[in-house]
């Protein structure tokens, strides 16, 4: 096989503890969907991709080195979000030390948010891909085969004469339906090797999918720089992908990882009707904005198998909601939760504490709002000003900010509002979880949802140990 055709794509070796912190025993590894899509694209263009999902396979840096040594790829690609960028950089260093001739590429959300700083901090990275790499990666590898110096492809940042050079921003408009399905078959032990986090799925196998890109929201804590446009796959494309997963992998449930699955309502309704008419016997869960659902849509979602919707609520204080750019009222949140539960769909609320202007009183307000709003489930993280977001630029105005990429996991505080200490935030975090979960109706709801007493007990014990520690 032509060595220049081979490319290895790695998810860096991070642990569940690194991802979930003290809640690691309730978490699970998710398939690297971005690498699976790139794998499908590369294969269609005549390349020979290998995808190594280090976390799910339990690989260490040493194990990765042995894989590279045995297969001798010409190019290695690594993906990383901000919480994993240090791990990715360390892996690049190990690879470069052992195989100086291998070209190392880096993609993912982090380098798109901080391209220059990332390249300067990790000199072992030869090329970074900024934004969507669907076309730029293929163009880069095709030019690389010609044996010239590093190609200057728009959407990349490269090293040239010991300097870092940004090759220009891409202006592509990508037709999502022109892309292949993710290359699920390139994953080892898929889908059985990817059990979902405890309490997130009800039927197995359950797999995550992405059906759109971007979000029209203007939240100051979200980074949207990876996608220049807001777009969706057509209902027909998504339906065929689900049929493919059903036929090849016998899936019984899917989890839509889109930021906001309901933003293209007419396309969504067409998809839901196809699922209903196809009698697919699939259940599914998704994320949505509270201001984009109504009773008609929710009824159709429920009829097509939707059993749970997660809403990004973030705070129970209206002033904070306005400050962070949510542009929704607490009344609208309550209405969406009520309507969702009315049609028989379970509700999950995502919240954060430690916002700009946060106080002990506003945290208490958030706790009480979460408890009284009718939510069936609760997810809590720390407000984290991520690189590339507006919150990152202005964080120092509102408190103390530890600008440490390695700590930006969402499960450990790095921003401390004026008047609140790290101890305050950690204590309130535990109290908020206890106040929500230590209620009979929530505990019984979990047991009914999971269906498996063993899984329910395992999850309850893991969460309980964390909350009383």
User: What's 234's domain CATH number?
Assistant: 3.20.20.70
| Overall pTM surpassing 0.85 (yes/no) | yes
Q: Is residue 179 part of a domain?
A: no
CATH code for position 71:
3.40.50.280
Q: Is residue 173 part of a domain?
A: no
Q: Is residue 408 part of a domain?
A: yes
Residue-level pLDDT at 86: 95
Q: Is residue 184 part of a domain?
A: no
Q: Is residue 177 part of a domain?
A: no
324 plus 446 within the same structural domain: yes
333 plus 462 within the same structural domain: yes
Give the chain's domain count. 2
153 plus 274 within the same structural domain: no
Q: Is residue 172 part of a domain?
A: no
160 plus 228 within the same structural domain: no
Secondary structure of the chain as H, E, C letters = CCHHHEEEEEECCCCHHHHHHHHHHHCCCCCCHHHHHHHHHHHHCCCEEEEEEHHHHCCCHHHHHHHHHHHCCCEEEEECCHHHHHHHHHHHHHHHHHCCCCEEEEECHHHHHCHHHHHHHCCCCCEEECCCCCCHHHHHHHHHCCCCCCCCCCCEEEEECCEEEECCCCCCCCCHHHCCCCCHHHCCCCCCCCCCCCCCCCCCCEEEECCEECCCCCCCCCCCCCCCCCEECCHHHHHHHHHHHHHHHCCCEEEECCCCCCCCHHHHHHHHHHHHHCCCCCEEEEEECHHHCCHHHHHHHHHCCEEEEEEEEECCCHHHHHHCCCCCCHHHHHHHHHHHHHCCCEEEEEEEECCCCCCHHHHHHHHHHHHHCCCCEEEEEECCCCCCCHHHHHHHHCEEECCCHHHCCCCCCCEEECCCCHHHHHHHHHHHHHHHHCCHHHHHHHHHHHCCHHHHHHHHHHHHHHHHC
Residue-level pLDDT at 238: 98
Residue-level pLDDT at 26: 63
Residue ranges, the chain, pLDDT below 70: 1-4, 18-27, 198-201, 225-228, 447, 449-464, 466-469
213 plus 355 within the same structural domain: yes
Residue-level pLDDT at 199: 63
């Amino acid at each position: 096989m032509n060595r220049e055709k081979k490319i290895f794509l790695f998810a860096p070796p991070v642990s569940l503890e690194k991802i979930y912190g003290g809640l690691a025993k309730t978490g699970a590894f998710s398939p690297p969907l971005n690498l699976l899509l790139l794998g499908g694209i590369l294969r269609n263009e005549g390349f020979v991709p290998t995808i190594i999902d280090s976390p799910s396979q339990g690989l260490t840096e040493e194990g990765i080195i042995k894989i590279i040594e045995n297969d001798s790829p010409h190019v290695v690609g690594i993906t990383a979000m901000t919480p994993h960028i240090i791990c990715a950089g360390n892996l690049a260093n190990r690879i470069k030390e052992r195989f100086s001739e291998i070209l190392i590429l880096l993609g993912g959300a982090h380098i798109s948010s901080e391209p220059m700083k990332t390249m300067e901090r990790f000199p072992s990275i030869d090329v970074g891909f900024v934004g969507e790499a669907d076309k730029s990666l293929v163009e880069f590898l095709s030019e690389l085969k010609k044996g010239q110096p590093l190609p200057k492809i728009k959407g990349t940042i490269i090293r040239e004469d010991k300097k870092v050079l940004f090759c220009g921003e891409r202006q592509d408009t990508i037709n999502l339906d022109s892309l292949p399905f993710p290359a699920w078959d390139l994953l080892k032990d898929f889908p059985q090797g990817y059990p979902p986090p405890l309490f997130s799925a009800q039927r197995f196998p359950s797999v995550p999918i992405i059906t759109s890109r971007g979000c029209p929201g203007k939240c100051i804590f979200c980074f949207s720089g990876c996608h220049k446009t807001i777009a969706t796959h057509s209902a027909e494309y998504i339906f065929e992908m689900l049929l493919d997963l059903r036929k090849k992998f016998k899936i019984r449930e899917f989890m839509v990882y889109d930021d906001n699955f309901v933003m293209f309502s007419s396309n969504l309704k067409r998809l839901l009707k196809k699922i209903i008419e196809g009698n697919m016997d699939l259940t599914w869960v998704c994320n949505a904005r509270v201001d984009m659902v109504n009773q008609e849509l929710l009824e159709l979602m429920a009829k097509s198998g939707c059993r749970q919707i997660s809403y990004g609520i973030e705070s129970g204080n209206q002033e904070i909601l306005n400050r962070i750019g949510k542009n929704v009222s607490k009344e609208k949140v309550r209405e969406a939760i009520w309507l969702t539960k009315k049609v028989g769909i379970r509700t999950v609320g995502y919240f954060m504490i430690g916002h700009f202007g946060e106080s002990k009183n506003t945290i208490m307000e958030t706790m009480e709002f979460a408890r009284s709003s009718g939510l069936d489930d609760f997810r809590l993280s720390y407000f984290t000003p991520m690189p590339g977001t507006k919150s990152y630029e202005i964080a120092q105005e509102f408190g103390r900010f530890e600008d440490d990429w390695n700590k930006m996991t969402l499960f450990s505080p790095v921003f401390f509002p004026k008047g609140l200490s790290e101890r305050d935030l950690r204590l309130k975090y535990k109290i908020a979880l206890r106040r929500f979960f230590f209620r009979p109706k929530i505990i019984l709801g979990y047991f009914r949802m999971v269906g498996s007493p063993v899984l329910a007990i395992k999850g309850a014990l893991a969460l309980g140990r964390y909350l009383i520690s």
